[in-house]
Structure 1
Amino acid sequence: MTTTATPVNGRVIALAHHAGRALLEGVLARHGATFHQSVTLRAVVVAGESITCDELVGDVTGSLKTEESVVRGAIEELTAAKLLEEDPSEASRTRLTDAGRELYESTAAETAEISARLYAGIPAEDLAIAGRVLALVTDRANAELART
């Protein structure tokens, strides 16, 4: 496959995002999960598998730039499906159930395989540069959003 130098811009970033998200959503659909649910489960895992509901809502709304009601709906769906539950050691916190952990781990493993194929052959230096550039663009976009 031959690639040509493509300047990074919003369209290029969006096309990459949407192509990757379509692959992820295919994995999630096979497991009966949605994108918002997946991001919510991941946030609980990253938090150490226990987090307050307000922290969880803040994390996911910040990541997805979506309405709080959407995230609270995903939490309710995950709780109803017995993938999240109240942490018995601290009632103000939410944690993964065994089924939630299994869902997260299986979808993460499947998407890791896809990611490995997508990034195969790209030099580590190029990936590092892309990561730095995208982190900077994200920081700047978040700063712009904070001003609005």
Structure 2
Amino acid sequence: MSATLNGQLLGRTHYATRAVLERELTRLGLTFGQSLLLNVLAAADGPLPRVEAARKLTEALKLSAEAAHATLAELVAATLVAPLAEDASQVTVTPAGRQTQRLVAAASGEIGERLWAGLPADDLAAAARVLEVVRRRAEASLASAA
């Protein structure tokens, strides 16, 4: 089977692999956006300003700031993220949030291993290089149109 590398193939691949992950996220009570934001906050060296956390999600998913702030509010309501007592403009992952993020990372890792298994390392490296160039060009295009 010969496939043409184009936006349609990339999109279909993204949505298929994302659907596999979302099935696991649903079991954890999370949306895709919530899982990404939880990852951002868990990877931070410490608390993040709400604005910065929302900006990172906006950049990752190309969504509005309002939608990103709503996702952050959902994580706070779920007690996976909490504002700092001394400065509510900053948020941090709670212990329950860290545990949930570890479960997400484990599920994501297992899915990735299963879906990418058996593919030659050289092919994976070439695909990664090509996809990174296309991603950068698309982000540059978005930035120039803003």
**Normalising TM by the smaller chain, what interval?**
over 0.9
Seen in structure 2, the aligned counterparts of structure 1 residues 49 and 24 have a Cα distance that, compared at 3 Å, is farther
Aligned match of 1:96 in 90, 93, 98?
93
Seen in structure 2, the aligned counterparts of structure 1 residues 101 and 12 have a Cα distance that, compared at 3 Å, is same
Seen in structure 2, the aligned counterparts of structure 1 residues 76 and 131 have a Cα distance that, compared at 3 Å, is same
Matched with 1:48 is: 45
Moved over 6 A (4+): none
Matched with 1:141 is: 138
Residue 45 of structure 1, CA deviation: 2.0
Instruction: Tell which deviates more after alignment, 116-125 or 46-55.
Output: 46-55
Q: Does 1:70 align with 2:67?
A: yes
Residue 99 of structure 1, CA deviation: 0.6
Instruction: Output the CA distance in 1 between the equivalents of 2:49 and 2:33.
Output: 18
Matched with 1:127 is: 124
Residue 92 of structure 1, CA deviation: 4.0
Which TM-score applies when normalising by structure 1? 0.91
Q: Provide structure 1 residue ranges, at least 5 long, that are not aligned to the other structure.
A: none
Instruction: Output the CA distance in 1 between the equivalents of 2:94 and 2:17.
Output: 27
Matched with 1:106 is: 103
Matched with 2:112 is: 115
Instruction: Output the CA distance in 2 between the equivalents of 1:110 and 1:75.
Output: 22
- What does 1:25-40 align with in structure 2 at a 5 Å threshold? 25-40=22-37
Instruction: Output the CA distance in 1 between the equivalents of 2:63 and 2:51.
Output: 15
Instruction: Output the CA distance in 2 between the equivalents of 1:60 and 1:124.
Output: 30
Residue 88 of structure 1, CA deviation: 5.0
Instruction: Output the CA distance in 1 between the equivalents of 2:45 and 2:5.
Output: 35
Supply the AA of the counterpart residue of 2:126: I
Matched with 1:81 is: 78
Supply the AA of the counterpart residue of 1:102: Q
Residue 129 of structure 1, CA deviation: 1.0
Aligned match of 1:57 in 38, 54, 59?
54
Residue 8 of structure 1, CA deviation: 1.3
Cα root mean square deviation, aligned: 1.5
The number of equivalent residue pairs is 145
Instruction: Output the CA distance in 1 between the equivalents of 2:46 and 2:112.
Output: 24
